[in-house]
Amino acid sequence: MVLTDVHGNVRRALKLSQEAERLKPDLVVLCGDLTHFGTLEDAETVLKCFRGFKTIYVPGNCDPPALLDIEELSDALNIHGKLHIHDSVGFLGVGGALEGPFKTPIEFTEDHVARLLEKAFKGFDGRLIVVSHNPPWNTRVDRTFIGIHIGSKALRRFIEKVKPLAVLCGHVHEARGIDQLSETVIVNPGPARNGFYAFLDVDGGVKINLNRV
């Protein structure tokens, strides 16, 4: 089960956790912006909604910078800058967003994103899924409502080089959807604060459903 951009909406998070109870996913993945310029306590409140599920996350650009350095919060594992193996699938995490005009709490340069990806990847030889708050550049899922692509070029280059099974991302609320780069499926489930989520199945190929509660 893939979620992104909760933005502190605990009511929706609880409703999505009820949906998770129904679906019984092997893993809950949160692609950042747990809070809306909130605190660690706010992030923990959101993550508590998914206790009882194996949960991994990356911080988004609207989350507190202190979240970057916390390995685990409310039983959820922070995979920013790391490779986490779950059921033989590698989940590589990169949080935050690119530097922009709004000076949000967690922003990185393209060079920093490239270094994070390569350092975490370390030549992993297996099925790989990238969990990124920022989408890859020039895709259906990074286009703003005014038609500008704001995704990461470093992430796109990494995808083209490594060819992961899938990239799970968010950040651009209006760009909910599915795209593909070569062999890689790219998913922006849409903002969870509005009840959106995706369900991903990687057994025997990549299958995705976009849903709403």
Task: Output helix, strand, coil percentages for the chain, rounded to the nearest 5.
Answer: 25, 30, 45
Q: How far is the C-alpha of 181 from the C-alpha of 145, rounded, in Å?
A: 22
- β-bridge mates for residue 84, sequence order: 91
CATH code at position 95: 3.60.21.10
Reference 133, options 117, 115, 118, 151; nearest CA is 151
CB atoms within 10 A of CB 109: 11
Whether 204 has a pLDDT exceeding 90, the answer reads: no
- Phi-psi group of 78: left, alpha or beta (phi > 0 → left; psi -120 to 50 → alpha; rest → beta): beta
Looking at residue 35, its pLDDT comes to: 98
Residue 30: C-alpha distances to residues 4, 7, 44, 94, 117 (Å): 5, 11, 13, 12, 18
Residue predicted with more confidence, 203 or 11: 11
- The per-residue pLDDT for range 111-146, each reduced to its tens digit, is 999 999 999 999 999 999 999 999 999 999 999 999
The structure tokens listed for 20 are 């998770």
Report the 10 Å Cβ neighbour count for 168. Answer: 28
pLDDT in tens, 33-67: 999 999 999 999 999 999 999 999 999 999 999 99
Examine the pLDDT at 18 and tell me if it is beyond 90.
yes
Residue 125 belongs to what domain range?
Answer: 2-212
Q: What is the pLDDT of residues 55-99, one digit of tens each?
A: 999 999 999 999 999 999 999 999 999 999 999 999 999 999 999
Query: Can you tell me whether residue 152 is helix, strand or coil?
Result: strand
Q: What pLDDT, on the 0 to 100 scale, is given for residue 151?
A: 98
pLDDT digits (tens, 9 = 90+) for 163-184: 999 999 999 999 999 999 999 9
205 band by pLDDT with thresholds 50, 70 and 90: confident
Per-residue confidence band for 191, with pLDDT thresholds at 50, 70 and 90: very high
Sheet containing 166-168: order of strands: 83-86, 89-94, 127-132, 166-168, 184-188, 177-181
| 72-98 CB burial, b ≥16 within 10 A, e <16 | ebeebbbbbbbbbeeeebbbbbbbbbb
When the pLDDT of each residue in the chain is averaged and rounded to a whole number, the result is 97
How many domains are there within the chain? 1
Please give the C-alpha separations between residue 10 and each of 28, 37, 160, in angstroms, as whole numbers. Answer: 16, 14, 36
Rounded to two decimals, what is the model's pTM?
0.98
